[in-house]
Amino acid sequence: MSDNYRSMWTELGLDLESHDALLGVLGNAYQEIYLSQKNRPEGMAYFDFVMSEVHGLRIKELMDEKAAGRKIVGSYCVFVPEELVLAANATLVGLCSGADFAMEEVEKLLPRNTCALIKSSFGFKLGKVCPYLESADMIVGENTCDGKKKAYESLGQLVDNLYVMDLPQVKSENGRALLQNEYFRFKTAMEALTGVKITAESLKAAIGTVNAKRAALHRLAALRKADPAPISGLDALLSNQVFFYDNPARFTESVNKICDELENRIAEKKGAFPAGTPRILVSGCPQAVPNWKLPFIVETSGAVIVGEESCVGERGTRNLTDASGQTVEEMMAAIVDRYYQVDCAIFTPNPDRLAHIEEMATAYKADGVIHYGLQFCQPYLMEAMPVEKALEEKNIPCLRIDTDYSMEDAGQLKTRVEAFIEQIKG
Ligand code: BJ8
């Protein structure tokens, strides 16, 4: 990376030594996990470039946007509506939380038995290694699981720009009303942050932009139904991860280009893996950058991942927002409708998620489902039990794992995954 970036990182307050260490680990992991794959689509070169510049060029772009007066908003959850951020002339970036960092410091603030995702978000702050977090003018925390909502109380002591969004826990008339109120409150907060009033015109354009990037991922997902699968689960996951922080228009264009290439591959029966490779659907907790542990294990054990029932995946992007409204109120209602359908495990009860897992297993012709739970994540680990039971009733094999970001259990996981793959080969 260019030396110019070092002064940018210094200005952002990063700890350069720790940051160098992080980038070193990231670069090695990317080399080992991504660049060692065979039969990758050529279009993935774009994502290789994005990853090589993840703390470089993209941050420079954000800094240029800031210099031109645009605000940056950071988020930890797919419930933060990008449509409202864009319509207020700001940029939304996901704050990834997919790796352990500064764990000793973190465990002074959070109990040891907190999920890896929450710990990671603190580690990146305490270790001063995340330029996205440091460039954000507003950080949005959302009241989802108990871990997150209590952790935001502590995060609020570490940053001076935390905005907490309340969210319903039950899908009911009251729940929907709460979501609607919170989205109107957020709209006002965005307008206050940027000084830009959200109009029908700007909101319609923003809905179009976000829908286009979701639609590109829908297109990519649909192509994974083919056998042989034209793209690895690792590469598809990376596209879903980059969704959260790339420039939206460029992201859409790049994914659509990959889809064009995948269509040709399918016509030529070219795959990332041979035809007949056992097909796995992964379901559960989000896998944020650079959490590539499970797909790496699965795809080096003789199977291919064909879908992610996850917020970094289909749960996060499943529905488009209806863009037919003419007024701000009509479009706000459409935004509430769209997000209200997200079937995160924090909702009780949460029958839609179960239905979606079954639908996805059928649509992607999965031979089995791996339920991915992060240790200490109550919502997803609790739901894993009924998910497994329901799948077994439908004769869909299911493997439940709970893990964290360390590689300590990698050998043990690999053994279990290999045994599962043998089972589904049957
Ligand atoms: S909408 S899944 S992105 S909350 S893994 S922090 S649930 S203890 S991430 Fe999520 Fe929004 Fe829901 Fe999606 Fe808590 Fe579990 Fe940790 Fe989690």
pLDDT digits (tens, 9 = 90+) for 357-393: 999 999 999 999 999 999 999 999 999 999 999 999 9
Structure tokens at 95: 């704050």
Cβ(167) to ligand 1 under 6 A?
A: no
pLDDT digits (tens, 9 = 90+) for 90-108: 999 999 799 999 999 999 9
- Residue 110's pLDDT band, with cuts at 50, 70 and 90, is very high
Atom of ligand 1 nearest to the CA of 376: 8
In 68-172, which ranges are continuous DSSP H helix?
Answer: 82-87, 103-109, 116-126, 131-135, 146-158
**Contact criterion met (CB below 8 Å) for 134 and 25:** no
Mutate to test the pocket of ligand 1, among 80, 115, 121 (most ligand atoms within 8 A of CB): 115
Residue 2 in this model has a pLDDT that exceeds 60: no
Which contiguous run of DSSP H or E holds residue 305? Answer: strand 304-309
- To the nearest whole number, what is the mean pLDDT of the chain? 97
Q: 10 Å Cβ neighbour count for 233?
A: 27
Protein residue whose Cα sits closest to atom 3 of ligand 1? 77
Phi-psi region of 100 (alpha: psi -120 to 50; beta: other; left: phi over 0): beta
**Contact criterion met (CB below 8 Å) for 11 and 65:** no
Atom of ligand 1 nearest to the CA of 342: 1
Compute, in angstroms, the gap from residue 266 CA to the centroid of ligand 1. Answer: 34
Residue 161 in this model has a pLDDT that exceeds 90: yes
Rounded CA-CA distance 305/271 in Å is 13
pLDDT digits (tens, 9 = 90+) for 304-354: 999 999 999 999 999 999 999 999 999 999 999 999 999 999 999 999 999
pLDDT at 55: 96
Residue 397 in this model has a pLDDT that exceeds 70: yes
Mean pLDDT along residues 202-210: 98
pLDDT at 4: 81
Angle at 120 between CA 119 and CA 126, to 5 degrees: 90
pLDDT digits (tens, 9 = 90+) for 66-98: 999 999 999 999 999 999 999 999 999 999 799
Question: Percent of the chain having pLDDT more than 90?
Answer: 98
pLDDT digits (tens, 9 = 90+) for 269-287: 999 999 999 999 999 999 9
Mean pLDDT along residues 293-300: 98
Cβ(370) to ligand 1 under 6 A?
A: no
Residue 1 in this model has a pLDDT that exceeds 70: no
Rounded CA-CA distance 406/153 in Å is 26
Cβ(147) to ligand 1 under 6 A?
A: yes
| 3-state secondary structure (DSSP) of residue 291 | coil
pLDDT digits (tens, 9 = 90+) for 19-69: 999 999 999 999 999 999 999 999 999 999 999 999 999 999 999 999 999
Compute, in angstroms, the gap from residue 222 CA to the centroid of ligand 1. Answer: 25
Angle at 276 between CA 274 and CA 278, to 5 degrees: 100
Compute, in angstroms, the gap from residue 120 CA to the centroid of ligand 1. Answer: 13
* pTM summary value: 0.97
Residue 3 in this model has a pLDDT that exceeds 90: no
Rounded CA-CA distance 283/368 in Å is 11
Q: How many residues does the chain have?
A: 426
Structure tokens at 340: 């209200």
Cβ(288) to ligand 1 under 6 A?
A: no
Compute, in angstroms, the gap from residue 380 CA to the centroid of ligand 1. Answer: 8
- Residue 112's pLDDT band, with cuts at 50, 70 and 90, is very high
Mean pLDDT along residues 291-302: 98
Protein residue whose Cα sits closest to atom 2 of ligand 1? 344
pLDDT at 96: 76
Residue 76's contacts (CB-CB under 8 Å, 6 or more residues apart) are: 94, 95, 97, 121, 140, 141, 142, 148
pLDDT at 426: 78
pLDDT at 184: 98
Amino acid (one-letter) located at 270? K
